[in-house]
């Protein structure tokens, strides 16, 4: 493991990126780019569980820690991804403390949780390292729940206080949609919700995270106390790079420079 949880607990600000193409190649490229962590997206991404397995293998020799966003809070979904070797799990659209508690329970082996035991899995080097993995899993596995529904805003303190929930991660698009102010990231309702999330996390000694598209937003959110920061995605990098280069070539063609030696 790459000590992501420990670094957060020590007060570090950690930079991440979304992986939503399901590609082992872009996974490896991004993993080597200099991010502290990457998130493989099973909720909205193009990949499947089979792709996740191979993506985790591609990240093994890179500095980036691997988090996987699954699409439900089911215990079986959680421990299946952890058995593959993920260092953290993110669950979206949490609405209550009970849902968050179910996530926390699924992350850890008994007596701390309800994670099923399997030794012949990638996370424990197929049985060669199970005892060590078992002893260190709780201190290494990062539990993240997303704050992006109206209901969850009434339970922030309860959720932040749950042992095993390490990060309250704000989803700006879904949160503003839930608030009826989609995309209005300067709206007082959204700003207040972000501040309330940060305050709840800080009171409980936990961290807050966020994903944004524009790096110019970094200082704003960092100054609010958010320390698990994500910006960009492999699909965005490919799309922007392709569009920018195509536009440049079209500009040369339109200016008549294509025929010059």
Q: State the catalytic residues.
A: 44
Please give the structure tokens belonging to residue 147.
Answer: 């704050």
Q: What's the CA angle centered on 168, arms 202 and 7, to 5 degrees?
A: 70
Report residue 104 CA to chain centroid gap: 16
Cα atoms found within 13 Å of the Cα of residue 229, Cβ hemisphere only: 21
Q: Using CA atoms, how far apart are residues 90 and 178, in angstroms rounded to an integer? A: 19
Q: Using CA atoms, how far apart are residues 183 and 198, in angstroms rounded to an integer? A: 20
Q: CB of 176 within 8 A of CB of 217?
A: no
- Percent helix, strand and coil across the chain, each rounded to 5? 50, 15, 35
Please give the structure tokens belonging to residue 173.
Answer: 């698009």
Q: Using CA atoms, how far apart are residues 18 and 39, in angstroms rounded to an integer? A: 5
Q: CB of 58 within 8 A of CB of 31?
A: yes
Q: CB-based contacts of 134: which residues, under 8 Å, 6+ apart?
A: 109, 124
């Amino acid at each position: 493991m790459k000590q992501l949880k420990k670094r957060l607990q020590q007060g570090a600000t950690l930079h991440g990126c979304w992986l939503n193409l399901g590609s082992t190649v872009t996974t490896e490229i991004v993993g080597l780019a200099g991010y502290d962590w990457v998130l493989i997206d099973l909720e909205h991404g193009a990949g499947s569980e089979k792709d996740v397995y191979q993506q985790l293998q591609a990240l093994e020799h890179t500095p980036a820690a691997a988090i996987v966003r699954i699409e439900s809070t089911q215990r079986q979904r959680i421990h299946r991804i952890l058995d593959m070797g993920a260092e953290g799990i993110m669950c979206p659209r949490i609405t209550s403390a009970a849902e968050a508690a179910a996530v926390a329970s699924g992350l850890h082996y008994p007596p701390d949780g309800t994670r099923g035991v399997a030794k012949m899995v990638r996370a424990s080097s197929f049985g060669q390292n199970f005892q060590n993995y078992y002893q260190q899993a709780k201190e290494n596995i990062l539990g993240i729940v997303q704050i992006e529904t109206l209901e969850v805003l009434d339970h922030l303190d309860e959720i932040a206080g749950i042992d095993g929930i390490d990060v309250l991660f704000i989803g700006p698009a879904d949160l503003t949609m839930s608030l009826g102010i989609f995309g209005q990231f300067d709206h007082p309702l959204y700003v207040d919700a972000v501040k309330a999330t940060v305050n709840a996390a800080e009171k409980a000694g936990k961290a807050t995270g966020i994903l944004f598209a524009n790096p110019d937003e970094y200082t704003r959110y960092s100054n609010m106390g958010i320390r698990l920061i994500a910006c960009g995605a492999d699909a965005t990098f490919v799309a922007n790079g392709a569009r920018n280069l195509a536009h440049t070539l079209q500009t040369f063609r339109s200016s008549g420079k294509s025929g010059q030696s």
